[in-house]
Structure 1
Amino acid sequence: MSNFSLDPQLVADCEWVADLPLCTVLLLKDANYPWLVLVPKIANCKEIIDLSTSQQEQFWRESAAVSRVLQVLFKPDKLNVAALGNVLSQLHIHHIARYKDDISWPKPVWGQHPAKTYETNLLTERVAQISQLLNL
């Protein structure tokens, strides 16, 4: 993990929330949706299959924990979990709380609407809530 660094685009688009044993947890700065991103802290990792078996198991534990936080905190109609990587090759997995009345439903969130900026207080509150529920 010593050579790991976040892609500059993730740094620009997200707010750091926490570091779990394997992954960094980020909040995407788009107030249209509760949207977390997990990034395994493994250098040059592009695909989940690039992780060792034990790392994959740890990733799924952390993904489940993040998904539970989204369910508890936001009570979504559906959770979307996706690892696309077509624009940014560093492995990063989106966890998005979706609602039947959100602005993109039922379509995928990508390319539907411009990102909505968080108010500073709400961004700070979200990060604190998520971090607390992750028991950090």
Structure 2
Amino acid sequence: MNDPGFALDARLAADTVPLGVFELCQVRLMDDARFPWLVLVPQRPGLSEVLDLEPADRDLLWRETLAAADALRRHVPCDKLNFGMLGNLVRQLHVHVVARSEGDAAWPGPVWGSGAAVRHAPSALAERAGHLRAVLGL
């Protein structure tokens, strides 16, 4: 459930598209056509570290992250799923789930710092978002 004090970081809002809401997290699609990439944001105010979550919410975050990863893997053939909670640029707690394939734009390095995002064409963004909503059950 969304906490009334929760507000999405402006950078996350600008770089992602909302797909829907799990029990704890907003599920968002990163607008970078180079990588199939989900971002989960726990809807609790003032979080910057996973340790800031209550234990039950930590467990729920992990379950929701795994559900998102499973859906992404079913949507996009990939060689590896990458998970990240960096927070160096955006302090608000959020989890990245990225489907990676050998030979992608950053392989074998990390997606972070691999160049400027390549925005989806509007129709491609709508198509990918719609398919992921369906796969995620959102």
Q: TM-score, normalised by structure 2?
A: 0.96
Q: How does 1:66-105 map to 2 (within 5 A)?
A: 66-105=68-107
Q: Tell me if structure 2 keeps the 8 A contact 1:35–1:96.
A: yes
1:111 and 1:57 map into 2 onto residues whose CA distance is 30
Do structure 1's residue 122 and structure 2's residue 127 form an aligned pair?
no
May I ask how many residue pairs the two structures share in their alignment?
A: 136
1:52 to 31, 49, 54: 54
Shift of 1:105: 0.3
Measured after TM superposition, the shift of residue 114 of structure 1 is 1.5
The answer for the alignment partner of 1:20 in structure 2 is 22
Q: Could you say what secondary structure the match of 2:41 adopts?
A: strand
2:35 maps to which residue?
Answer: 33
One-letter code aligned to 2:116 = P
Structure 2 CA distance for aligned equivalents of residues 72 and 122 of structure 1: 18
CA contact (8 A) 1:70 1:76 kept: no
TM-score (structure 1 length as normaliser): 0.97
* Unmatched 5+ stretches in structure 2: none
The alpha-carbon deviation at position 111 of structure 1 amounts to 1.3
Task: Flag structure 1 segments of 5+ consecutive residues without an equivalent.
Answer: none
Moved segments of 4+, more than 3 Å? none
